[in-house]
Amino acid sequence: RHDLGREAFVERVWQWKNESGGQISGQMRRLGEGVAWSRERFTMDEGLSKAVQTVFKQMYDDGLIYRAERII
């Protein structure tokens, strides 16, 4: 992701979503997942992405999460 730069990385994420998203949903349906399919969302959908960013910023500002140099 760092080698690509943000724009190219995000472009590849959307490409992956367009190619694989339907397959994942299909697998979940075949497994009999009981979800409201009309409410299906992708993490980077505009409204959801904004909500995630807002909550993460608030949690960061409140000291509940922090950035570190280690994998958890």
Segment 36-51, tens digit of pLDDT: 888 888 878 887 888 8
Instruction: Please give the Cα distance from 53 to 45 (Å, whole number).
Output: 12
**Residue ranges of the chain with pLDDT lower than 50?**
none
Q: What percent of the chain has pLDDT over 90?
A: 25
Which pLDDT belongs to residue 59?
Answer: 96
**Predicted TM-score (pTM) of this structure:** 0.52
Which pLDDT belongs to residue 1?
Answer: 60
CA dihedral 55, 34, 16, 49 (to 10 degrees): -20
